[in-house]
Amino acid sequence: MHDLFHAYILLGPLEETQKEAIKIAKTANCLEKNDGFCDYCKNCVKIEKGVFADLVEVKPEGSSVKIESIRDIIFDSYLSPVEGKKKVYVIYEADKMTLEAQNSILKTLEEPPSQSIFILLSENIKNIIPTVISRCRVIERAKPFKKYTFDKDFVDKLFKVIIEKSLPYEKLDFFNQITNLDDKEAVLEFLSTLYRDVLVAKTNSKVKIVNEEYQDVIKNIANRLCIEEVLKIMDKINKTIEYVKSRGNENIGLFNLLLALWR
């Protein structure tokens, strides 16, 4: 028997993850095959056509997947399937779930109803909280993080200004150093993965840490900040990345971000 899990995160381009979700839905509901799916039984055909009552899709409204939509499917997931063997919930752009929405689905993922399968589709795992990730089987259709490396001297300075109380001139000196870098976005992406690692450390989740070589620093930051502070910083970093991408003014974005981190 093709072993199905109760929750998946499918990472990668939407076209591919959507196909994968359909396959999981068919495998869970096929009337002919126990291992995989046949593609011609009543359930497989209905799933393919998008008219299967036990396949429910949730999509973002505006810029986020709202808690109300998540509450609806959580309630529904405790009911018996209408026509199939399993209810399958596909959450599109799952990284757009609000923090509230993620926390509410977390409880269901911890003790999932046996007749239901949750599938989270995402192109970007960055905004999915580690505790949610740790409850799901992650299938990657794309690399979730690009790995950045900087020379040791630069990283040491970066940590010094973020973690320790450095003097104003040291901060300014470091800011000048950053503005002279060719790839400023790399610094932002690096900070983004670093604080995500801090969150992983704080929540003791089993998610892999991206920047393993900086374990000590990650622990150090984790000890100094509470989860809410880490989430706030992650939010600031992500907003700065968006700002830099849309406006192209990297220096202002970086400067504001560093100011926020220094405080």
> What are the residues binding Zn ion (CB under 5 A)?
30, 32, 37-38, 41, 44
CB 30 within 8 A of CB 38: yes
Give me the least distance between CB of 41 and Zn ion, in Å please.
3
57 CA to centre of own chain: 19
Indicate the residue type of 129. Answer: I
Give me the least distance between CB of 31 and Zn ion, in Å please.
6
CB 144 within 8 A of CB 127: no
Q: Where are the alpha helices (DSSP H) in 135-226?
A: 152-163, 168-179, 184-203, 215-224
Give me the least distance between CB of 43 and Zn ion, in Å please.
6
Q: Measured from the CB atom, is 44 or 217 closer to Zn ion?
A: 44
Q: Measured from the CB atom, is 85 or 247 closer to Zn ion?
A: 85
Q: Measured from the CB atom, is 19 or 208 closer to Zn ion?
A: 19
- 10 Å CB burial of residue 184 (0-12, 13-18, 19+) is middle
Give me the least distance between CB of 54 and Zn ion, in Å please.
14
CB 210 within 8 A of CB 147: yes
Give me the least distance between CB of 86 and Zn ion, in Å please.
13
> What tokens were used for 176?
């000048």
Q: Measured from the CB atom, is 33 or 160 closer to Zn ion?
A: 33
CB 91 within 8 A of CB 118: yes
> What tokens were used for 212?
């393993």
Give me the least distance between CB of 32 and Zn ion, in Å please.
5
d(CA 42, CA 18): 20
Q: Which residues pair with 122 in a beta bridge?
A: 11
Q: Which residues pair with 58 in a beta bridge?
A: 91
Q: Measured from the CB atom, is 37 or 118 closer to Zn ion?
A: 37
Q: Measured from the CB atom, is 50 or 168 closer to Zn ion?
A: 50
Neighbours of 37 (CB within 10 A): 24
Give me the least distance between CB of 73 and Zn ion, in Å please.
24
Q: Measured from the CB atom, is 37 or 214 closer to Zn ion?
A: 37
